Structure 1
Amino acid sequence: MKKRNFIAIIATVCFLSSTFPSSLSYANEGKEKIEDELQEIQGDKDKKQEDIKSIESNLDKQKKQLQETEQQIHDKQKEIDSQEEKLKKRQKQVEKYRKVLHGRLADIYKRGEMADLATLLEADSFSEFLSTYETILLVLDKDENLFEKERKQEEAIVKIKKKLEEEQTEYKKMQAEGKKSFEEYKDKLTKSKSELASIEKKENNIEADLQKIRIQEIKSGNFKFKGPMQKPANAPISSNYGWRTNPYPQMHAGIDYNGDTGDPIYAAAEGIVVRSEPASGYGYVVQIDHGEGIVSLYAHMWSWDVTVKKGEYVKKGQVIGKMGNNGQSTGSHLHFEVQKNNQRVNPAPYM
């Protein structure tokens, strides 16, 4: 009877296991869906950023074109003003010669033809008569020629001015069209930037959701290493991983970064702090579990400079402490190690 009950229980468990997926399976499916959504959003973001670059490029071109057109309108106006001054001077000259010619003609009219004839008859000889007659004709002809010359120059200036004004009108038309296009691009840019901000907000929300899932995974111990690692300090390397003879022959199981006391130390990758305590020759150390058996160690700090505690989740690049010379140390530096399944390994391939 007991044997039959036991078999029945086992069968039920197997049936339930095959019928209902585990909570982990549900979690993985949910995470994959969120990651797919994030990828789609990031694709939209990349496209929108490209659109913005294109709009900004066109806006810049339109701006330069408007500046050129503005200068052309200004230069054309200077030419028009110059021709206007010439026209005014020429009109004064025309008016002057017109008055002279009209005055001379009016004088002849007032004196009458007999007056001119009397002038001619006063001549002492025929040659003087002809000379006087020619002089009268030459004076009238000269006055008329001067007047006609000035009038033609006046007409030429009017034509030039008209042409310049027509060209300026075209430039102003181009300017109006360019301004309209410029404003349209500005509106497009404002709209696109607003859309990008909306996309980035969605991206941040999705990344926040993924981060929560990631933290839960890390805290549960079920997470993968997310590399590569970054430099844990903005300082030059003073000693690499491997055998060294200074200060004495030994295997150096990490990388030393030579810096000043108080320089920031950063988490090389995200993970959970599994150790934050004094460690004799290593001074005060912090160890971070990054998943898949990969752990990083940071040594020679002072306790008061450490900013994280055991069990705390840390992001990649987060400040976890400051450089010091605590423990077996000849000067201020960071000793950085990477362990794989509790074995110290060369950190370089993980960075």
Structure 2
Amino acid sequence: MKKIAAGLAVALLAVTLLGPSDGYAKKTTVSEIDKQLKKLQQEVQAAKAAQEQAASRNQVAQHYKNKTTLNLQYVLDQIAQVKGEMTTISGKIASTEQSLNVTAAELDEAEARVASREKLLESRVRLMYTDGAVSYLDVLLSSTSFSDFLDRADSLKMIVDQDQDLLVQHKLDKQTVIAKKQELEGQYAQAKQLYTDLESQRTVLKEKEAEKQELIAYYDEEINEADEVNEEQNAKLVQLASERSALEEQKDKIKAEEAARKAAAAKAEAARRAAAAAKAKSSRSVSSSSSSSEYAGGNGPFLLPVGSARISSGYGYRTHPVTGEVGKMHTGVDFAVPQGTDIHAADAGTVLVAEWWNGYGNCVIIDHGGGVWTLYGHIREGGIKVKAGEKVDRGQVIAESGSTGRSTGPHLHFEVRIDGKTVDPMPYL
């Protein structure tokens, strides 16, 4: 929608400026044209400001996209690390479950032994309850002989030792198995908790990954929108330059007509003022030659703007050397020349642009008439030798080469435009 609106605005402006009838053109004054030129200049400044803002947005978005991409890689590395830890913990959980199963079997066996001992102890208690309490001393004193006494003493000792052993083993079995089971259950619970924590951490990281992907998509959209605005404003600047050229031609025509009228008036008084008539005739001759808008270079090829320099990049589609974009249209020819090399006008004409111009850096555009322009880009700082509106001659030094704007090194970017559209410059050189 923005492009359509901008296109309609430019088209309406073009109709307003370029489509008047002959009668209207005669009524237009130099002062009115100057006002229109001033308005055009304001629009040029606005377009350039919008272009610079778009370039700034592009740069900021690219910075944050690069930063977010690095953060995304860090999050992905963390996800991989947590996934590896989860695999290790999962193995520990499986191993602990296996140990718990073994311990459960051991506990069953120990409980069986404890139950067996409890039955034996219960039977002894019942026996003592049924037969009554019998004192170990009564048993010894009821001996029939000394040898019987010794036998009874040995038997009593064995009974006491056996009872003591039963009680000790009973206690140890229970304590050992219960302690081991509690230890394994603690390890199992710890491993399960750690696995849960890692799963929670992994979920958070996945959310962060999705967040980073959304941010990258957002910055990509910002970059694309900024590029669209940049291209839109670039097209508008070309259109405004064309309209300015048309107004300048109309202004020259009006001046020529005014000069002709003055010359005619002076010629009417030729008898009385012969000297004035001669001067008016000379003025008409000069004005008429300066007002011509025909393409001066039509009878021969353009001059090479920097002599027979090496061509480092030709006209057509290529991989952009700065952005790396594949299939990017290169709208001119690059001449590899050192910093500060003199740049000559390819032919006579009127300077349309002599200032910073977006990706071209410091730039000069010359209108040669007949809708033919030449463009000279990447001029060094302080290297522009002409100004907008100035008439230049064929071969005149107009600037010095540099590397301003979107450039990888010192060179001259040279374009030929026909009715505002770029063409291959080589057939014109």
Query: Corresponding residue for 2:222?
Result: 192
CA contact (8 A) 1:69 1:171 kept: no
Distance in 2 of aligned mates of 1:348 and 1:201: 27
Within the candidate set 67, 84, 87, 1:75 is matched to: 84
Which TM-score applies when normalising by structure 2?
0.46
Where does 1:14-163 land on structure 2 (aligned, <5 Å)? 20-22=29-31, 25-26=34-35, 28-108=37-117, 113-114=122-123, 124-163=154-193
Distance in 1 of aligned mates of 2:336 and 2:91: 70
SS of structure 1 residue aligned to 2:310: coil
Is 1:350 the equivalent of 2:372? Answer: no
Within the candidate set 309, 323, 340, 1:233 is matched to: 309
Query: Corresponding residue for 1:241?
Result: none
Where does 1:277-316 land on structure 2 (aligned, <5 Å)? 313-316=373-376
Residue correspondences, number: 247
Query: Corresponding residue for 2:316?
Result: none
Distance in 2 of aligned mates of 1:342 and 1:165: 81
Query: Corresponding residue for 2:388?
Result: none
- The one-letter amino acid paired with 1:178 is K
CA contact (8 A) 1:80 1:161 kept: yes
Within the candidate set 203, 206, 227, 2:236 is matched to: 206
Check 1:84–1:231 CA distance in 2 against 1; reply closer, same or farther (3 A cut): farther
Aligned Cα root-mean-square deviation (Å): 4.6
Distance in 1 of aligned mates of 2:307 and 2:244: 22
- The one-letter amino acid paired with 1:350 is E
Distance in 2 of aligned mates of 1:174 and 1:195: 32
**Structure 2 gaps, min length 5:** 1-25, 128-150, 250-291, 296-304, 313-332, 353-368, 378-391, 402-429
Distance in 1 of aligned mates of 2:344 and 2:43: 20
Q: Which of structures 1 and 2 has the bigger CA Rg? A: 2
Q: Report which stretch shifted further, 104-113 or 196-205.
A: 104-113
Residue 76 of structure 1, CA deviation: 3.2
Distance in 1 of aligned mates of 2:193 and 2:308: 72
- The one-letter amino acid paired with 2:61 is I
CA contact (8 A) 1:269 1:315 kept: no
Query: Corresponding residue for 2:212?
Result: 182
Residue 178 of structure 1, CA deviation: 0.7
Q: What fraction of aligned residue pairs are identical, expressed as a percent? A: 11
Check 1:211–1:175 CA distance in 2 against 1; reply closer, same or farther (3 A cut): same
Residue 147 of structure 1, CA deviation: 0.5
CA contact (8 A) 2:346 2:374 kept: yes
CA contact (8 A) 1:59 1:182 kept: yes
Distance in 2 of aligned mates of 1:138 and 1:342: 120
SS of structure 2 residue aligned to 1:315: strand
- The one-letter amino acid paired with 2:82 is I
Per-residue CA distance 1:303-332 (angstroms, 9 max, x = gap): xxxxxxx98643337xxxxxxxxxxxxxxx
CA contact (8 A) 1:90 1:154 kept: yes
- The one-letter amino acid paired with 2:231 is K
Query: Corresponding residue for 1:167?
Result: 197
- The one-letter amino acid paired with 2:400 is Y
Query: Corresponding residue for 2:23?
Result: none
CA contact (8 A) 2:347 2:394 kept: no
Distance in 2 of aligned mates of 1:106 and 1:95: 16
Residue 232 of structure 1, CA deviation: 5.7
Distance in 1 of aligned mates of 2:37 and 2:230: 24
Which TM-score applies when normalising by structure 1?
0.54
Check 1:233–1:116 CA distance in 2 against 1; reply closer, same or farther (3 A cut): farther
Distance in 1 of aligned mates of 2:118 and 2:237: 104
Residue 195 of structure 1, CA deviation: 1.7
Query: Corresponding residue for 1:305?
Result: none
Q: Report which stretch shifted further, 44-53 or 164-173.
A: 164-173
